[in-house]
Chains A and B, each alone.
Chain A
Amino acid sequence: MEIYLALVPALPLIGFLILSLTGFRLQRTLNAVVGAGSVGISALIVLILGIQFLSSPPGSGMLSVRLWSWISAGEFAADVSLKLDSLSLVFIFVITFVGFLIHLYSIEFMKNDEGFVRFFAYMNLFVSSMLILVLADNLVLMYLGWEGVGLCSYLLIGFWYKEPANGDAARKAFIITRIGDTAMLLGLFLLFVSFGTLNMDALMNLASLNWETGSVMPVLASALLLGGALGKSAQLPLQTWLPDAMAGPSPVSALIHAATMVTAGVYLIARTNVLFALAPVVQTAVAVIGALTLLVAGFSALTQHDLKRILAYSTISQIGYMFLALGVGAWSAGIFHFMIHAFFKALLFLAAGAVIVALHEEHDIFRMGGLKNTLPKIYLTFLAGSASLSALPLITAGFYSKDQILWFSWSAHNGSLWLWIAGIVGAFITALYTFRMVFITFFGNTVTEPSYHPGKLMVLPLTILAVLSLAGGFIELPESWAHLQLFTHSVQNVLPETLVVRHEISEIVFQVISAFVVISGIWLAYILYYKKKKVAFPAFFDKLGEFFYKGWQFDNLYNAVFVKPVVWISEIDRKDFIDYFFRGLASISVIFNIALTRLQNGKLRWYLAAIAVGIAFILTIAINL
């Protein structure tokens, strides 16, 4: 059974090798089979492993396999060894299963692209790195996966590299996540210096034994790890790269920038929850950052015109919810929302990709409209995803996951009323921007006739994801309704139980409030964007909208605070005295060059004279010696 675990990340890696080494010789169909098939078999193995794992859990609560010793230098040792527990099981299930559906979709989506092989090679490499990230049993191997997914993200954002803007977006994503990664690397150094090991289980045991709650070391370590998580998961203040990352193809946005990679930060925090529990300050910071991010990104999503940018801001906002859940100590709720979010956000991105392909690369929702009748299948699946995103009560999975977070944001031991207010305002905005997008894109008059109708390979993954987005929540019902918390039970031996400290108000009241808020959000969207009722907004709304549209001017702020000073300093630095030395060397050689080129004047007789003088010179020397 252990060896099958090793196959899970190995198969996509083999797929990557086959595609990158021999892909250009193979036929397109064969490439597609290798690309999607490797992930598909991985998903199948995960399914079998998962069923076995859940039906007869191993005694220690995890499966581990040590493949080989990777680095061994003095006291430092890192193995390539994988560990499967219920937390990583959730992640590998989402990565392989959703990943496989997205690969299937991509076969049709990319069929006319000249970079077909390259695309599938990168995607397979990504899946493999992501699986290594979540299966690693030590932080070094995890860091390998962490950087691997960053690399693939860079390569895939800039996939259509002939457009310079795409390359800029890729570099932006890479550099900004690098800021977080540097913090994370420092955190790893700190942990190694403190305990002499980077094995996660050993590290967590040592930390809880040796470090006191609230002392400096755990605060520092968890704050540095949080830095890495903020960069990867596009949270405040490192969120600016994700909207630009939409330059990549839609399946990339679905897989990397919605379902899996951007939630690596959530995984990191959940995995090192012991450290965060030892540092309540940092854990509160996680909750506050999550709450702020979900509001900031939600308001930005409200004003965007580009279909994919709306979804990008929405992703930032939903990951904010996950951070909020982790921050208040509702660990399993955060991971549950990750899983449900992976379903519906992958669905929304894939459906958006289908719409964009059908309308000749049209991204602007105001030039869409009336697609309900022309693309009915896409409309239905998009509607399912949107309902789940806006957490429509009872029938959607998003309701069950988000409602849990909202309830715990007040009642859990780290929760507060303010966090709940942020969450509930966020829920209202989510419903509003989601159905703004639905009404503008799919209702109203037909603006552009679709030139392409998505085929089976695109519709099938959409349908499966739509079913999961709606029905996926029934495995975890609110505690006040029924004793059906399959998800929480399965992860409870890895993640600490959520402590509910406040009971004054029943959970039902919170559910009714959030249901009411969501429905009123949808109703407002209906009034504004379906009925197109003219509402006289105050004048400052335009300016505010512009401010939100620009992502709260974070880009300009960073430009003014970081980019411009650096450019200014390097402009000054261009003329420092060390440069004078090297520029002096350069000009001396230029002078010699000019002098020598003068000699080459094309006059044969000059050359002859020079040769004669030269020979006379050499002979004189030779005779005199």
Chain B
Amino acid sequence: MITVTIETQIFFAAALFVIGLIGLLIRRNIVFMLMSVEVMLNSAGMVFIIAGSHWAQPDGQVMFIFVLAIAAAEVSVGLALILQMYHHFKTLDADALNKLKDTENESKNLN
């Protein structure tokens, strides 16, 4: 049986995390961004599992189930927000929602 070293396992989890992060940063569609967040969450869960098996402790798996539950809750809230967003703005583009930016630099009038 091929033994997979812990470094490889951690590298796998880190790769998963970076993929999720890159997806989050380059995607403009909010649905894909949410999915990328899920990938990142899974990579974090992956680390728990790896740590649990490495030290032969059940805590890692317990934590993973915990993360899974939270992720499910988070997705439901996130999807509800996305629905509302689409309902209000008729778009799924995250960049289109930029009302919070500093439109007028008032501090320039200080002098």
Q: By the criterion CB–CB under 8 Å, are A597 and B105 in contact?
A: yes
Q: By the criterion CB–CB under 8 Å, are B105 and A594 in contact?
A: yes
Assess A605 versus B102: contact at CB under 8 Å? Given A590-B110, A590-B111.
no
- Chain B residues near A601: list those with CB within 8 A: 98, 101-102
- Chain A residues near B28: list those with CB within 8 A: 605
Partner of A602, one of B100, B107, B108: B100
Counting from the closest, the 7 A-B pairs by CB-CB distance are A602-B98, A602-B101, A597-B102, A593-B107, A604-B94, A600-B102, A601-B101
Q: Is B24 an interface residue (CB 8 A)?
A: yes
Q: By the criterion CB–CB under 8 Å, are A609 and B25 in contact?
A: yes
Number of cross-chain contacts by CB at 8 Å? 42
Q: By the criterion CB–CB under 8 Å, are B25 and A594 in contact?
A: no
- Chain A residues near B26: list those with CB within 8 A: 605
Minimum CB distance partner of B98 in chain A:
A602
- Chain B residues near A593: list those with CB within 8 A: 107
10 contacts between A and B (CB under 8 A): A586-B111, A587-B111, A590-B107, A597-B102, A600-B101, A601-B102, A603-B98, A605-B28, A605-B94, A608-B24
Partner of A604, one of B95, B105, B107, B110: B95
Q: Is B21 an interface residue (CB 8 A)?
A: yes
Q: By the criterion CB–CB under 8 Å, are B99 and A608 in contact?
A: no
Q: Is A612 an interface residue (CB 8 A)?
A: yes
State the CA gap A609–B36 with chains docked (Å): 14
Minimum CB distance partner of A605 in chain B:
B25
State the CA gap A586–B107 with chains docked (Å): 11
Assess A608 versus B95: contact at CB under 8 Å? Given A590-B111, A593-B107, A594-B107.
no
State the CA gap A605–B32 with chains docked (Å): 12
State the CA gap A600–B106 with chains docked (Å): 14
- Chain B residues near A608: list those with CB within 8 A: 24-25
Which residues in window 580-617 of A have CB below 8 A to B?
Answer: 586-587, 590, 593-594, 597, 600-605, 608-609, 612
Q: Is B65 an interface residue (CB 8 A)?
A: no
Nearest chain A CB to B35's CB is how many angstroms away?
14
Q: By the criterion CB–CB under 8 Å, are B24 and A605 in contact?
A: yes
State the CA gap A324–B84 with chains docked (Å): 89
Which residues in window 78-111 of B have CB below 8 A to A?
Answer: 94-95, 97-102, 105, 107-108, 110-111
- Chain B residues near A587: list those with CB within 8 A: 111
Which residues in window 1-49 of B have CB below 8 A to A?
Answer: 21, 24-26, 28
Assess A590 versus B108: contact at CB under 8 Å? Given A597-B102, A600-B102.
yes
State the CA gap A600–B107 with chains docked (Å): 14
Minimum CB distance partner of B99 in chain A:
A602
Nearest chain B CB to A618's CB is how many angstroms away?
16
- Chain A residues near B99: list those with CB within 8 A: 602
Q: B24, B94, B101 — which one has the most chain A CB atoms within 10 A of its CB? A: B101
